[in-house]
Amino acid sequence: MGQVVKSIKGVHDILPDTVHNWHFLEKNVRNVMAGYGYREMRTPILEKSELFHRSIGEVTDIIEKEMYSFEDLNGDHLSLRPENTASCVRAAIQHGMLTNNQTSRIWYSGPMFRRENPQAGRYRQFWQVGAEVYGVPGPYIESELILLSARLWQQLGMSDHVKLQVNSLGTGEDRDKYREILVTYLNDHVSELDDDSKRRLSTNPLRVLDTKNPAMQNVVGEAPKMLDHLCDESREHFELLQASLQKCGIPFEINTRLVRGLDYYSHTVFEWVTNNLGSQGTVCAGGRYDGLTEQLGAKPTPGVGWALGMERIIELLAKIHGSQLPPEPEVFMILAGEQAMVSGLALAEEIRSAEPQWSVTCNCTLSGMKSQFKKADKSGAKVALILAENEIIDGTVGIKSLRQQAEQKTVPRDQLIDVLRSEFLTPLKL
């Protein structure tokens, strides 16, 4: 036998035992996005490399060492997308979504690719959900996006486990002036910088503020703050955002070291962070990127958005709610004998057609009742339905709760759906 082929380092399989956790997250994402009027967009995972070089910035870690790029047979330079904001903006420009002062609210989900060092919460193929808005200037649309994410945390039952951090990067002019002040300060303390920060000093000095090196916390903590160097317009923008969040009851803290790793951000940047995932504490991040459309060849158009890491959210939910999230309500059919098998398959179709649409698993092999009950319990189903010769003769169905201490009961077949709905399979909520 040849050697077993395994998955690539840094990518992972989502197995049937855990995929319902993903469905749970995706279902809540869809519901929340619809509630705010956001429409789904799906972009290719493969783009021209130029797109990311122009949008993300040549001196970012992503461009310098993390992208999966190659030259195809036509000589085109292509890359697997490392993030999706640039792809969404490219699609919006290409398909005329930014013309005539249109406002577009879109969301997406899908895999991204970065050649990072694999560790807990950080993969080379990872999944993101994001929300983007084009054509709306000012702080209030930023508030809406933050409120949308807060609503999602509420729906997922994790509001008490995340906190919001915000900062302002001001305009491009504000950043240029601040960059000079920051570089002067860091040059005065260059002996205290690590090698990575010394490299960034000449390429992307704001990223020095985001260092996780404990030895540099003092020098970074005493660095000049961006908020002290905003113009009046940028300061008012940030103050209005804060007032809006306070009015809506969203707690937040100002993190002056929050700069984000991509070059296209301006004005507001924010992150939702948690203490439950170790060093990988950021679960959602975003901000305003008004200059990105111009970088990609279109007229300047306001833009703002965020992205969340699905693996991190699911890991956090598992820590909060247990190793597995509650599965959708589910029925397991225990069928004894050939006649019960045929009748049970037909009954399962009736149940699947009812409202709400329950998931039904049939044991399609002729095995003993004890064996079938073991399979039912292991399946994660909430209730077992028993159909054997006596039930078929009497026109009844046996019902056994698999998750609560209750006596097995028998009900007429024509009353089964109503009994399931009222007593056994009420919708689960966190």
CA within 13 Å, CB half, 137: 9
Maximum Cα–Cα distance across the chain: 90
Task: Kindly report which listed range (124-133, 232-241, 306-315, 399-408) carries the lowest average pLDDT score.
Answer: 399-408
The dihedral over CA atoms of 310, 315, 316, 321, expressed in degrees to the nearest 10, equals 120
pLDDT score, position 430: 36
pLDDT score, position 58: 64
Q: Are the C-beta atoms of residues 329 and 359 closer than 8 Å to each other?
A: yes
Task: Kindly report which listed range (34-48, 153-167, 270-284) carries the lowest average pLDDT score.
Answer: 270-284
Q: Are the C-beta atoms of residues 397 and 386 closer than 8 Å to each other?
A: yes
74-96 tens-digit pLDDT:
999 999 999 999 999 999 999 99
123-164 tens-digit pLDDT:
999 999 999 999 999 999 999 999 999 999 999 999 999 999
Distance CA 207, CA 94 (A): 32
Residue 429 reports pLDDT greater than 60: no
Q: Which residue type occupies 235?
A: R
pTM: predicted TM-score of the whole model, two decimal places = 0.80
pLDDT score, position 277: 86
Task: Please state, rounded to an integer, the average pLDDT across all residues of the chain.
Answer: 89
Going by C-beta distance under 8 Å and a sequence separation of 6 or more, which residues neighbour residue 266? 169, 170, 171, 172, 175, 287, 288, 289, 290, 291
CA distances from 320 to 107, 115, 159 (A): 26, 29, 11
Distance CA 153, CA 160 (A): 9
Band of residue 428 on the pLDDT scale cut at 50, 70, 90:
very low
Q: Are the C-beta atoms of residues 358 and 351 closer than 8 Å to each other?
A: yes
295/166: higher pLDDT: 166
